[in-house]
């Protein structure tokens, strides 16, 4: 997917339909890092945030949804795996109408439109226009339900986040790396023809030359003195103990 296609879809399918967001989070793919996408965000006054290299947890909400979305076509795809694009629309409909029981308590569709999605079983229960329901009263009820839903969803989301944080904090430890530390970097790339199982888990050593936001670091190769282009998250590095020089005694 080229940069111009990403920019076109974001503009036509998101900005013109729902309005421009305040913040846009993406990974560090070239199509998202392009000058074209950056110019589009600058035009709409959108703040850009990028995930650190090989750390998808930064964009966990999107990655988790992608994981769910992959499972649905797997159950319905044909033996040649050629019909998966036609399944996506129905899969997205199922996701949009499903309540987020672990966070907001409401479906994404309800959070956006203030009402649940109409399904075939529901259409027969919709009041006929001949019943004379006042339009202004209807919209007032719609706005009221949307406001209440957002308040409840915000409260539910906060509770869910607090529970998640407590579970995380039980085992989590704040990184203690400082500038000048020698570290090893978790190897995330596999050369063609090389088995992942037999590769060294970490490469290096590197030394930390600078600190970034949210426990990210700038690394420089100790041998070549070439800095890495991207910030590295603390979860991918571990301390390296410099070998002591060998002393020969007569």
CA–CA distance, 14 with 234 (Å, rounded to integer): 33
pLDDT of residue 67: 80
pLDDT of residue 47: 92
pLDDT of residue 125: 45
Domain boundaries, the chain: 111-116+137-172, 182-239
pLDDT of residue 225: 93
10-residue stretch averages of pLDDT, the chain, 250 residues long: 89 91 88 88 90 79 81 80 83 83 81 79 50 61 62 72 77 85 87 74 90 90 91 90 68
Angle, helices 60-76/84-97, rounded to nearest 10 degrees? 120
Integer CA distances (angstroms), 108 to 39, 85, 203, in order: 29, 22, 43
pTM of the predicted protein model: 0.54
């Amino acid at each position: 997917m080229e940069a111009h296609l990403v920019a076109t879809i974001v503009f036509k399918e998101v900005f013109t339909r729902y309005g421009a967001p305040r913040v846009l989070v993406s990974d560090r793919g070239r199509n998202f890092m392009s000058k074209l996408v950056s110019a589009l965000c600058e035009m709409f006054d959108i703040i850009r945030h990028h995930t650190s290299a090989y750390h998808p947890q930064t964009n966990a909400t999107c990655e988790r949804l992608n994981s769910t979305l992959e499972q649905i076509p797997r159950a319905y795809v044909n033996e040649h795996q050629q019909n998966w694009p036609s399944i996506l629309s129905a899969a997205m409909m199922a996701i949009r109408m499903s309540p987020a029981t672990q966070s907001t308590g409401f479906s994404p569709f309800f959070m956006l439109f203030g009402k649940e999605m109409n399904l075939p079983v529901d259409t027969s229960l919709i009041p006929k226009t001949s019943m004379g329901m006042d339009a202004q009263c209807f919209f007032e009820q719609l706005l009221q339900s949307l406001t209440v839903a957002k308040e409840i969803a915000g409260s539910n989301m906060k509770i869910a986040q607090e529970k998640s944080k407590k579970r995380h904090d039980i085992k989590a430890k704040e990184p203690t790396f400082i500038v000048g530390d020698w570290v090893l970097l978790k190897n995330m790339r596999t050369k063609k023809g090389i088995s992942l199982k037999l590769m060294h888990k970490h490469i290096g050593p590197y030394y930390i030359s600078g600190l970034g936001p949210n426990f990210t670091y700038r690394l420089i190769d100790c041998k070549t003195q070439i800095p890495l282009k991207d910030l590295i998250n603390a979860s991918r590095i571990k301390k390296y103990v410099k070998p002591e020089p060998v002393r020969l005694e007569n």
